[in-house]
Amino acid sequence: MNPLAMKGRTILVTGASSGIGRETAILLSELEANVVIAGRNRERLEQTRDRMQGSTHRIEAFDLNEAAAIPGWIKKIAHDTGPLSGLVHCAGIHKAVPLRVISPPGIEDVMRANVTSAIMLVSGFRQKGCSLRGGSVVLVSSVAGLAGQPAIGTYSASKAALIGFAKSAAMELAPDGLRVNCVAPGFVQTEMAGEFRGKLTAEQYDAIARMHPLGLGHPLDIAQAIAFLLADTGRWITGTTLIVDGGYTAR
């Protein structure tokens, strides 16, 4: 018996067009879940679906920046698929902006993409008929929300906000039998990380790599931690943050 098996469960994964979100969707399909994969680009979502096992998965092209529409969107999904057993929020943006050039619009962009969307997704998930008792929410935070680095103050603030929100939401939703947790990855080799790497010198990138005693991570490392929190293996875990960082925060 596989303790991570999720046969018959329907799980919504945002940011499923690349990186951690894509790898999570693929892994959940291998664990026999029915996966609703969401992102802005339908073509890239179709590429994700082509790599998934099974034929019961659903594509949802949706822009999470339309925050007010999120609860209604989730209600529609649940109407079509039945109540959800899980929600994984992988979508987000990363911006490296020094304080000397930071601007309110830039701050608002990051907060809307990384925090507002998460809050509205959880609000939608908890609606009557949208989730099953025993359901699990996993929000992808970051070690940047736990340890400081120059020039990523807004990003760090947004990821720290997810950790605080998860604790509060976990307490509020526990009576409904819903769990809310975060994972906090270190530097994972994704497309978004590749864009960030392009802004660094070779010396700066090597310095980041050395901060991870076990080396840099891969999307599957994070997907496996997410699956653990979604499955029955995580049934007694809520309001916590699972750090998956190759030893970054152990320094």
- Catalytically active residues are 155
**3-class SS of residue 191:** helix
The alpha carbon dihedral of 83, 179, 234, 138 has a sign of positive
List, in sequence order, the alpha helices (H) in the chain. Answer: 19-30, 42-50, 70-81, 104-111, 117-125, 153-173, 191-197, 202-210, 219-230
Strand arrangement of the beta sheet that strand 241-244 belongs to: 58-61, 34-39, 10-14, 84-89, 131-140, 179-185, 241-244
139: left (phi over 0), alpha (psi -120 to 50) or beta: beta
- Residue 9: which of 129, 136, 101 has the closest Cα? 136
β-strands 241-244, 58-61: how paired? Answer: unpaired
CA 166, CA 171: separation in Å to the nearest integer?
9
CA 149, CA 11: separation in Å to the nearest integer?
33
